[in-house]
Structure 1
Amino acid sequence: MDLGEGWDVLLLVFLVVFVWYYIRETWTSGIDGKTPPGPRYIPVLTPVWTLWVFLRDGIWAATAGYAAKYGGFVRVWLGMEQTFIISSASAAAHVLKSSNYRSRFGNPSGLAHIGMHRSGVIFNNDVRSWKAIRFFFVKALYKEVLDRAAGVSAIATRRQLANIRDMASSNPDGAVDVVTLMRRITLEIGNRLFLGVNIENDLEVVDKINGYFAAWEFFMIRPTALQLIHPSLYRRHKTAVRALQDVVGKLVDKKRACMNGDEAEEEFSIPKGEHDFAAALIQAQESGQLSASCVRQCVTEMLVAGPDTMSVNIYFILLHIAEHGLEEGILREIREVVGDRDPTREDLNKMAFLDHVINESMRTRPVVTLVMRRAEEEDHVDGYVIPKGANVIVNLVAVHQDPRHFPEPEKFDPEHFKEKVPATQFMPFGLGPRSCVGRTIAPVQMKAVLVTLLRMYQLRPSRDHKSLDVSRNLSEHPTEPGYMFLYPRVDNS
């Protein structure tokens, strides 16, 4: 074979592969033969362009943009992977409740950089590994821990509120960075419930959690090859991940020392007789069930959950309370249900108005704006075929602002939740087998923090929701300090 014939063979192979790939990527159509809405598929160009849009705008902003342009069911590509954006409540509930979508998607090498590839529970994309590890998280959230969460949240909130004067003095007009305050509070709550050691510098840990989350967003869908273009950016995010991993590793070592009786951590220790999440993980490592890196990742995820999302949720809730004059109604409910004592879980369950305010805030200004899944089997949704291995993004914002279920959906109105809302129409923690493992404890913690704070301080926002600059990537976060004015109440009764 001469050189010319060799090139002919290579060209033929290329054309065959090209045609096969084109057919594979465009084959997905409706049961009646319709092609899913979305950008026209041009081999190589469309996958590269749509990936660029997601990287440029952020996952959530790109999702919202495609949904606004093409409707409730959209097909795009993330790199070379078909990805479907779903925005209707019925289709979202179908996907989230189905066992066909127990896996998440993300760049494997990127997930490995942040410790989540086949480890932890948040973005672990290996179903067998995820099920084994999730057992430890579910066991840690049993009734006794849920009951204790209300009191622990009140204690942690009061302890951290003692820092308000120092936090306010660092700002010329006396406003407090409430997002940072909430991150310190939720970190302490997570420590008291699931780790049980003394964290000597919580601000340092909060700062490292922020760096870790930025790296998480950076690595989630970014192809590894792009590090050739921005090697310094990759190194910076890898350094941020290692910084938090080193801190958590030391905290796990401290926990191990406490278990061996080498250190005393009386103030933060888990009460005897209660399930100890970190201790159970360490014991599983010692028996060969888990690796040291997996134990560290599980503790990391349990500690990160509060400062990452719950703290921002509480900040948004406080902004809504202040903007809409809801303090008096909540305080009246506190006096009627709780009185002067710390709230119990049973008390918090009776606080319907506070519940409505929290739910409406998470509906109109959610932190978690989307849910990511991967199809383990072929499925039919809204008259279209989702092939095995395809990615699915559930657009929670569109689901929660559907005017068929929520009249005047863009208006903040706690009355939206006066009547019970079906779980298939409001799903801030997801649904089904891969729903957020903290869905039962997060509301208890948020309500206890709010009750404790509002008893002690009056609120005045330094800005409103509309002027708030936010990042719209994996979730919605303020890109600047979350300042508010907090004034001590003259009459705490």
Structure 2
Amino acid sequence: MTSATALIPGPAGNPLVGSLFDLTRRPLRTYLAAHRDHGDVVRFRVGPPGLRVEFYGVFSPEGVQQVLGSEAANFRKENAFYDELRSSVGNGLLTSQDGDYQRQRRLVQPLFTRRRVDGYAGAVAQEARALTERWNAIPVGVVDAAEEMSRFALRAVARILFGADVDEAVAVVDRNFPVLGEYVWERGFAAIRTPRSWPTPSNRRGAEARRALYAVCDRIVAERAARGDLDEDADDLLTLLGRARGEDGEQLDPAELRDQVLVFLLAGHETTATSLAFALHLLAKHPEQRKLAQREAETVLASREPNAADLESLPYITRVLKEAMRLYPAAALVGRRAVAETVIDGYVIPAGAQVVVSPLVTHRHPAHWPDPERFDPDRFLPEQERGRHRYAWYPFGGGPRACIGQHFAMLESVLSLGVLLRDFEMEAVDERVALAQGITLRAASPMRIRVTARGAAGLAG
């Protein structure tokens, strides 16, 4: 057994800057290589001598459980990336801590019960129908899965948030979120951060994107507040958030409503888009698994629109999505700061240290995932899942800060993927897709697939 006094191993990196260039240029490959070469706890050194800092990667399911679950109070969302994210999208559920987080979670949690989320299936079906109609109208039949799923997921979450006020919000978010996301990522991992007030081109682009996003959300929030209780039957998420009350009458103020909306737009569309895009890409490359999924979709959905009850009847498509999220988790890297000294996997993590856990790395841990690069949805058969460590697969995080929207993400992903599989044949145009890491994992090269209508009645019929 490793002694808790042992030096934590890690890559030597460049003599002048340590692992700075590797982590900046190819972070995912660097973390995978570090786990392969050095084990479940790895020390990284970054920066020139005299300014060098250390942080630690924790990759075993047991270690991840400590960081996110059993010792979550000791690992806080305190680092440069979260500082930048708070400054850009506000203090919503994704970024808040302590009393702010507990209060927000109490108010928002009732809106994400399984029963409430199941009511959003109609909005998902509506956007899935519009997507199939769009694909049927494409003459060549080649689409970029990443672009298509980003547009689809954004429209679906915007419809659930805003009801009828979709088109303007979608246009503003689609134009400005990528700009703001790139700005946050660059500043969060910059060796030197200039003040946001300096009129650099990057700061101006980031500030303008933030202003545009805040403006559209503030306008919609203000319009809903002005309506008061006139729309008693309105059930969009923004209206429900505005009506939410705690036991003592507490509620979200307009700024908090805006911050929650921005977080839901970000987390609710980028993560789902990543999962769906890679699921389509993988199925387009694997005809045997695609045929099994298509057969299930045809049998369950026939020619009708899907509903929430169908989720339990699509177990193979659910397994496909889980396997896509294993190989390509949207939140591929998660950072925390250790408050107190902690022992993880026999190594001492010092107080104040920055810690990174990586679903992308842990999801490929050879002790838990034989032949980890192989696409195999049957890894998620019930008998396989029962014998697996809880944190061997954690695309939605874990512990007290596990994603509040994970049931919605699965409902939206499974139902929409079922519709697309039922209505279209798919063939990969791009066999290999380069990965890039921003706020979420994304494709850095085209992810094109050739889609051909299967001749079924489909949703449009």
Same fold, TM exceeding 0.5? yes
After TM superposition, give the deviation of residue 480 of structure 1 in Å.
4.2
State the distance in 1 between where 2:445 and 2:285 align.
19
**Alignment-derived partner of residue 25 in structure 1:** none
Separation of aligned partners in 1, 2:185 and 2:127: 29
The residue matched to 2:109 in structure 1 has which SS? helix
- Cα distance, 1:32–1:403 mapped onto 2, change above 3 Å: closer
Identity fraction in percent: 24
Equivalent of 1:84 in 56, 77, 96? 56
Q: CA deviation at 1:52?
A: 5.5
Quote the offset at 1:141 in angstroms.
0.4
**Which of 100, 104, 128 is the aligned partner of 1:157?**
128
Alignment of 1:46-445 (within 5 A): 49-51=18-20, 53-54=22-23, 56-57=24-25, 59-77=27-45, 82-98=54-70, 99-101=72-74, 103-107=76-80, 109-116=83-90, 119-124=91-96, 126-164=97-135, 168=138, 173-201=140-168, 202-222=170-190, 225-226=193-194, 231-259=200-228, 261=230, 269-270=234-235, 276-280=239-243, 290-325=252-287, 326-418=289-381, 419-421=383-385, 422=388, 423-445=390-412
Structure 2's unaligned 5+ residue stretches are: none
Name the SS of the counterpart of 2:105 in structure 1. Answer: helix
Distance 1:324 1:53, change over 3 A: closer
Residue 40 of structure 1: how far off its partner (Å): 6.5
How far apart are the structure 2 equivalents of 1:41 and 1:307?
Answer: 36
**1:325-349: per-residue Cα shift (whole Å, max 9, x none)?**
1333122212433444333333212
Q: What is the deviation of 1:161?
A: 3.4
**Is the 1:58–1:474 contact (alpha carbons within 8 Å) kept by the matching residues of 2?**
no
Structure 1 position 33 matched with structure 2 position 2: no
**TM-score (norm: length of structure 2):** 0.84
The gaps in structure 1 that reach 5 residues or longer are 1-29
Q: Does the C-alpha gap of structure 1 residues 404 and 68 become closer, same or farther in structure 2, counting only changes over 3 Å?
A: closer
Sort the Cα spacing of 1:150 and 1:75 in 2 relative to 1 into closer, same or farther, 3 A.
same
Q: Letter of the aligned partner of 1:417 in structure 2?
A: F
Q: Which amino acid aligns with 1:139?
A: P
**1:459/1:39 Cα in 2 relative to 1: closer, same or farther (>3 Å)?**
closer
Is the partner of 2:392 in helix, strand or coil?
coil
Cα distance in 2 between the residues matched to 1:220 and 1:311: 23
Aligned equivalents of 2:456, 2:404: Cα separation in 1: 38
Q: Distance in 2 between matches of 1:476 and 1:96?
A: 20
Q: Is the contact made by 1:102 and 1:434 (CA closer than 8 Å) also made in structure 2? A: no
Q: Are the aligned partners of 1:101 and 1:373 in contact in 2 as well (CA < 8 Å)?
A: no
Q: Match for 1:486: what amino acid?
A: V
- The offset of 1:310, in angstroms, is 0.9
Q: Deviations over 1:256-312 (max 9, x none)?
A: 344464xx899xx427xx99443236x89xx88545433211101112223312112
SS of the residue aligned with 2:167?
coil
